[in-house]
Each structure stands twice: as structure tokens, then as C-alpha cells.
């Protein structure tokens, strides 16, 4: 248990409604009456965000989230399979659990899984990943205007807008938060 006065953004709470992460925290002391704490909470399973108000000093159950690095092995009918680098234990996650992270996970990539009571509840990607270009249209000679881009397909199937000089076989760095091209690595 943790007091609502000690809660900080980023902490996880195990409330009766489910497992939540504190997104925003505000301690309010009105002119009349007792102080209270207003929190914006994100459900770690469904992603839904809700506002909740607690009395100041009220105890709430704190959830201990274990974050471990896993290596991506393969994808099959069951979903995505990852292996723990320390115990060599394998975990399969469905496509719904991976959600928007799937286009950024290349073979052999290391991702961080958030675990609660031994069950995976979320996936964290690095800020940028390096992916190989598998398909790119050639840049037309007259298209050398500064800032011109073309769609390229990377090894995971993601289509990224990249500069005209990017070609098949190049490795590009892609931002996992926005899906934008950052730079060419090779």
C-alpha cells in the first residue's frame, strides 16, 4: 500500500477496476474542506484513460511491474514468440497484445516486456529501430528537389516515407513513436 500523497506519475496501481498507471497527478487543497488528490489513470490492459479522485493520505495498493528484456524469435499462427535472455523461457503474445508495435519488431530484435504476476501486460520499444529496405522505387532524375520523399517498404512490411537516395538493401533508422524516417545507417 502507498499513500496518495506519495504517488508520482509513472507509478502503477492495482485498483479494484484493474491495473493502472498514473499519467497525471494533482494535489488540490481547496480553501474550504479537506485536501484531495486528482489522478489521470491509464488502464495497462485496455489502454482506457480515466480520471479518479482520492482523499489526501488515503492508501491505495501499489502494483510492482517487472520489466525484462526479451528477444523476438518468430511469428506464427499463435502470434509473436519472445525469449527471455536470462532464463531462455519462451512467451507467445497475440497480435492484439502487440498492437501498434508489430511493424517495428524485426527478427532478433530486443524488446522490453512489462510483466505483472508473471503475465505480460505491455511491450516497450526503443525510441528508434534500424530496419532494412526491401522495396524502393527508383528516384526519378528530375525529382531532386530538396525534401522530396518516396515510399519505401522495410523488412517488417512497414511503409515509410524516405528521401529519394534511399535504395533497396539500405538500413534506415525509423522512429517507433511516429513511424517517420530518421536517417540512413548504411
**What is the C-alpha to C-alpha distance for residues 110 and 172, in angstroms, rounded to an integer?**
17
> Per residue in 82-93, pLDDT tens?
998 888 889 888
Residue ranges of domains in the chain, CATH in brackets: 2-60 (2.30.30.30), 66-124 (2.40.50.140), 128-184 (2.40.50.140)
* Cell reading at 171: 538500413
- pLDDT the model gives residue 143: 55
pTM: 0.71
> Per residue in 11-21, pLDDT tens?
889 988 888 98
Mean pLDDT, the chain, whole residue set: 87
**What is the C-alpha to C-alpha distance for residues 133 and 157, in angstroms, rounded to an integer?**
9
Per DSSP, the three-state class of 164 is: coil
Amino acid at each position: 500500500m502507498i499513500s496518495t500523497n506519495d504517488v508520482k506519475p509513472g507509478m502503477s496501481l492495482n485498483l479494484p477496476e484493474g491495473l493502472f498507471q498514473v499519467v497525471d497527478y494533482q494535489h488540490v487543497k481547496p480553501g474550504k474542506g479537506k485536501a484531495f488528490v486528482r489522478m489521470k489513470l491509464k488502464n495497462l490492459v485496455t489502454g482506457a484513460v480515466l480520471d479518479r479522485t482520492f482523499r489526501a493520505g488515503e492508501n491505495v495498493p501499489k502494483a510492482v511491474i517487472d520489466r525484462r528484456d526479451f528477444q523476438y524469435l518468430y511469428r506464427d499462427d499463435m502470434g509473436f514468440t519472445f525469449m527471455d535472455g536470462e532464463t531462455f523461457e519462451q512467451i507467445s503474445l497475440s497480435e492484439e497484445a502487440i498492437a501498434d508495435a508489430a511493424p517495428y519488431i524485426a527478427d532478433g530484435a530486443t524488446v522490453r516486456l512489462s510483466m505483472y504476476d508473471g503475465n505480460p501486460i505491455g511491450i516497450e520499444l526503443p525510441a528508434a529501430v534500424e530496419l532494412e529496405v526491401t522495396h524502393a522505387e527508383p528516384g526519378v532524375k528530375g525529382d531532386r528537389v530538396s525534401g522530396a520523399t518516396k515510399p519505401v517498404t522495410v523488412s517488417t512490411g512497414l511503409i515509410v516515407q524516405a528521401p529519394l537516395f534511399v535504395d533497396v538493401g539500405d538500413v534506415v533508422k525509423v522512429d517507433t513513436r511516429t513511424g517517420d524516417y530518421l536517417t540512413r545507417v548504411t
